[in-house]
Structure 1
Amino acid sequence: MKNLKRIRNAQGKTQLQVQIALKIDQTALSKYETGDRVPSVDHLLKLAKYYETSVDYLLDLTDEPTPYPPK
């Protein structure tokens, strides 16, 4: 999940800031970023909303960080 780390760095945030804001375990967040662990659907949705991007971007299914337009 290279895009997860990429977007965090692009927004100038640390893992600690994300972990505190979303109440996600720092170890889990680190493993998400390295691809050692896949986030739950709940965590994916939280991360996508936090970074204002799509779940597809976080899962490296697209290189477009702009979120989809709302329904």
Structure 2
Amino acid sequence: MYFQRLRDLREDKDLRQEDVAEILGISQTVYSRYERGFQTIPVMHLLKLADFYQVSTDYILGRTNTSKPYPAK
């Protein structure tokens, strides 16, 4: 699965793949594989990205077009 939204979110913040990879504590190559869908994103990285971009995981995964995260209970 190709994650265009990961790329869009990153570019909207004027970040490089290297910048996001550093936040996740991984190499740029691994992060690039996430964006291109060549490697599965671990749940802990998906959650960290959702928190960083302040969007829902469903938005990143393309399951909804609503970017706002769900309210905390």
Which TM bucket (shorter chain)? 0.7 to 0.9
> How many pairs align?
71
Q: What TM-score do you get using the length of structure 2 for normalisation?
A: 0.84
2:49 partner letter: L
Runs of 4+ in 1 over 2 A off after TM superposition: none
SS at match of 1:3: helix
How far apart are residue 63 of structure 1 and its match? Answer: 1.8
CA RMSD in angstroms comes to 1.2
Aligned equivalents of 2:6, 2:19: Cα separation in 1: 14
Q: TM-score, normalised by structure 1?
A: 0.86
**Equivalent AA in structure 2 for residue 7 of structure 1:** L
Whole-Å separation in 2 of the counterparts to 1:26 and 1:50: 17
Q: Unmatched 5+ residue regions in structure 2?
A: none
Q: What is the distance in 2 between the residues matched to 1:42 and 1:36?
A: 18
The match for 2:31 is 29
Partner-residue secondary structure (3-state), 1:7: helix
- Deviation string 1:27-53 (CA, Å, 9 cap, x unpaired) is 111011111112011111111111111
Higher relative contact order (CA 8 A, sep 6+): 1
